[in-house]
Amino acid sequence: MNDLRSQTIYHGNVQGVGFRWLVSKEVENHLVTGFVKNLPDGSVELLLEGNEKEVKRAAMMIDRKTSQFWEKKSIQARKGGPHFDCFSIMH
């Protein structure tokens, strides 16, 4: 098993601009689960789970598609199986 759980926090102009929708549309092209949600401080949290290669590929494509919105990001990743059955936009 080569599963990965990756949490990314995006900072910048990421709320109220369709950021979560763009992320969810890109995730449709990848075999990952998790969520994207707005945080109270104005940032957005992205959690991706799945095969390490697929999680990294999804994260790279999400970064490319959303780069005009975020100024910085922080990433934490760890090995482990998935906790979610699908990918969703959380509110």
Active site residues: 20, 38
**Cβ-based neighbour number of residue 13 at 10 Å:** 13
**Cβ-based neighbour number of residue 4 at 10 Å:** 21
**Cβ-based neighbour number of residue 90 at 10 Å:** 11
